[in-house]
Amino acid sequence: MARVWLSLLLLVMLPVSSTWAGQSPVKPQIRVGLMPIFVDDQAAFINSWHDYLERHLGRPVTFVQRGSYREIVDMLRDGKLDFAWLCGYPYVRNKAYLRLVAVPLYKGKPLYRSYLIVPSSDKQTKSLKEMRGKIFAFSDPDSNSGYLYPEYLLTTEGEKSFTFFDRTFYTWSHRKVIEAVAIGLAQGGAVDGYIWDTLAQSHPELTSQTRILLKSPELGFPPIVASVAARNEAVTAMQQMLLGMARDQDGSRLLKELNLDGFVRGDRHLYDEIDRMSQFVEKSRMNVLQKH
Amino acid sequence: MYFKNISLKYKIPLRVAALVIVTAFVLASTMVYRDIKELRNHTVAHAFRMGGAMSDTVVAPMLHDDVWRTFEIINTPFRTPQHPVPDQSAADQGAEYILILDTANKVYVSTQPDRFPMQSNPAIAEPLFAEVLKKLPELRDLHPAVVESTTSDDLFLLTPIHSGGVMIGTLVMTYSKTPFTAHLYSLAWEAILITLLVLAVLLPLSLYWGQRMAAPLLQLSAAMNKITPNLPESSDIVLDESNDEIGQLGKAFKSMLVELKEKEHLQQQVIASDRLAAIGRLAAGVAHEINNPLGGMLNAISTYKRHGGQDPLTLKTISILERGLLQIKDTVAALLVEAKAKARYFDQNDVNDICTLVQPDIQAKHVNFLLQNNITEALSVPSTLARQVIINLLLNAIHATQQHGHVRLHIHRDGNNLLIDVSNDGSYIPKDMISYLFEPFTSLNEKGSGLGLWVIYQIVQQLGGLITVQSEPGETQFIVQLPLQEQHE
């Protein structure tokens, strides 16, 4: 049985150098970078994705995998990558370098929530305030649901996570936040609600060991973005392919495995709330710095 | 004490069982001890390797304060591929739990976060750690160490985690000895099973051996019990022949029995001859006492007959008295056998005379008489007495045999003895009669006086010889052995 990994899927396209392209009649090669995803048979799923992309984009595809959002964002900003499926938080912070390609539809909407979870054995805790002095797990410092939202909540209370909690750590994956909370390594964690819900269907024995303490308001779903370096032709091809996925059989199957309904063109204003939270937290940090 | 009374049949199997159990116990204990020691060494060696590998691997995440990665590394041994949630039960021979202590000896991370939360003092959750923590300063030389708790069965392997020679934490792997105990029990159980199996095979065998060993002893003891009241015949004693100790015992018993029989026989002979001697003395005494007045009475009668009156009634009375007295004299004379020293020696002519004398009796009964005479010269034995003995024996033999029966006389010299062997095939003498055979008035038939054999015995005794009789159905044999007298002129 394959392991299930939490994840953000990153699609990365890297245009092949002009010399190579010039000598070949085929379209430029596409390198697709991925992060671990949460389906059971990850390798098979990635192969399916890979085949699907090559078939529909009509060009060679290569995947690149990295362990944190920051590395992906850095590669995007450096122009080493053309496309990425990125969290809303790094997207709003790097809006200047990124173009919105498509937004996944989850339960018919391009929206999701952040969940704050505690171990199911913890029956007392009712609010984030009661978590003071505890051990808390974040997924990634660049994750909206896995870091920004709880940080924002604490900031509105005049707190900072690194002082409010006794100890915090990153698991670099949403699924591992759930695991850490389930086994009691952390007494609380912030996790992508879409991933928690999806795992609750496929692995209820894992999610049942956690209890949702609170849910965030609906926020913009992590979008597919293109770097400014991406060619318009490639961006269009990618956009067309994604928007059409729900309409063909293979695409539907892949979307079903991801527990998504499809992709929409999306609107950058979807992420205004994340932007606001980000700026609020940022400003608060600046204030602290200025005080010192 | 009770054990002493148990039959060998059961003693041997019991001893075999005891031996098997003792052997199995000693062997099993040795092997179990070795096995457990080996298992422990194996576990410790394995722990050292794993601890070394882990402490190297966790350096980087720990330097980055990446708790989750550190946890994932130390939790690797506990992960089962089937379950996304780390299985917290320890695998066989694996660590029970692993934790990493920071430089302040607080829990950095553990595989049992419920029990050892991050940043807690491990001694709170597990008092044994108070003991373990005391050993920590000894780890400053950056070498791993094994700490065996004095109060519990747990084993702690401490591996320092260091980066560039600087301690950044300690990896603690805890091993419960419960698997050792379980292993011990399973080994002990196996040993018991095998012992029972061996016993199941050996017990019937040893029961059989016990029977085999006890049987001849029981046979012997049964034979010994037969000794009283009467010594049994050798043929009645059945003992297995063998040369082992029991066989030797049986042989010794048999030879003892033979000796006992001989002794008994000898005793009977001594008793018989003592009795005969006593009777002889009594008879001689009585005969002498009677002879003196008897002589006087006969003289008186003789004188009276010569000089007394002629009254016919008186004479008739005197005559009756005289006949009676003469009969008494004959009887007394017979009782008072006296060897006449002055006599000529026995020779061939005597044998011929004897044959002539018994001829009428032989012919009357049509007896087949066989004479074997090996005497060619005169032998220094008083002829009168020898003749009396031979004639008496022959007449007895002829009497005893039936019509047309067989009688054999064999006279020969054997060294310094004259041997007279008379045998017949007539009715045999019952065993209980033989003891009294030579006593006076013991008659084998109604006609005899019962003094014949007495006289023979007295003569033989006085001549310093021996008389023996063997009688069984079909043959009765008297052998008389008379020593030759020294030639003196």
CA–CA separation, B90 vs B111, rounded Å? 10
Out of B68, B88, B119, whose CB is closest to A171? B68
Stretch B215-235: mean pLDDT: 80
Residue B211 tokens read as 């029977």
Out of A3, A135, A179, whose CB is closest to B118? A135
The predicted pLDDT at position B446 comes to 62
Asked if the ipTM is above 0.95, the reply is: no
On chain B, the residues whose CB falls within 8 A of the CB of A170 are 66, 68
Cβ–Cβ of B84/A179 closer than 8 Å?
A: yes
pLDDT range class, residue B429, cuts 50, 70, 90: confident
Average per-residue pLDDT in chain A? Answer: 85
CA of B119 to nearest chain A CA: how many angstroms apart? 9
Would you call the peptide bond into B179 cis, given omega within 30 degrees of 0 as the criterion?
no
Summarised one tens digit per residue, pLDDT across range B8-35 is 788 888 888 898 889 888 988 898 888 8
Q: A119 to chain B: nearest residue by CA?
A: B114
Out of A137, A170, A182, whose CB is closest to B85? A182
CA–CA separation, B345 vs B384, rounded Å? 8
Closest residue by Cα to residue B107 from B80, B132, B85:
B132
Element (H, E) at B179: helix B178-225
The predicted pLDDT at position A7 comes to 39
Cβ–Cβ of A167/B114 closer than 8 Å?
A: no
Cβ–Cβ of A167/B82 closer than 8 Å?
A: no
The predicted pLDDT at position A31 comes to 65
Q: Are A248 and A123 in contact (CB under 8 A)?
A: no
pLDDT range class, residue A52, cuts 50, 70, 90: very high
Cβ–Cβ of B84/A206 closer than 8 Å?
A: yes
DSSP helix/strand/coil, B375 = coil
B36 class by beta-carbon count within 10 Å (0-12 exposed, 13-18 middle, 19+ buried): middle
The predicted pLDDT at position A39 comes to 67
The more confident residue out of B81 and A54 is: A54
The predicted pLDDT at position A1 comes to 33
Q: Where are the alpha helices (DSSP H) in chain A?
A: 18-23, 42-57, 69-77, 88-93, 149-156, 161-164, 174-182, 193-202, 204-207, 232-244, 249-257, 272-291
Closest residue by Cα to residue B440 from B324, B270, B280:
B280
Residue type, B386: A
The predicted pLDDT at position A38 comes to 66
Summarised one tens digit per residue, pLDDT across range B246-301 is 888 888 888 888 898 899 889 988 888 888 888 888 888 888 888 888 888 888 88
Percent helix, strand, coil in chain B, to 5, is 55, 15, 25
Summarised one tens digit per residue, pLDDT across range A147-194 is 999 999 999 999 999 899 999 999 988 999 999 999 999 999 999 999
Cβ–Cβ of B68/A169 closer than 8 Å?
A: yes
Q: Best mutation site among A38, A143, A183 for testing chain B: the one with the most B CBs within 10 Å?
A: A183
Stretch B452-466: mean pLDDT: 85
Q: Are B109 and B118 in contact (CB under 8 A)?
A: yes
Average per-residue pLDDT in chain B? Answer: 83
Cβ–Cβ of B113/A183 closer than 8 Å?
A: yes
How many CB atoms sit inside 10 A of residue B12's CB? 20
CA–CA separation, B440 vs B270, rounded Å? 18
Out of B68, B88, B119, whose CB is closest to A180? B68
Q: Which residues of B touch A (CB under 8 A)?
A: 65-69, 71, 81-86, 88, 109, 113-114, 117-119
Closest residue by Cα to residue B321 from B335, B334, B308:
B308
Summarised one tens digit per residue, pLDDT across range B90-148 is 344 577 889 999 888 899 999 988 889 888 888 888 888 888 888 777 666 677 888 88
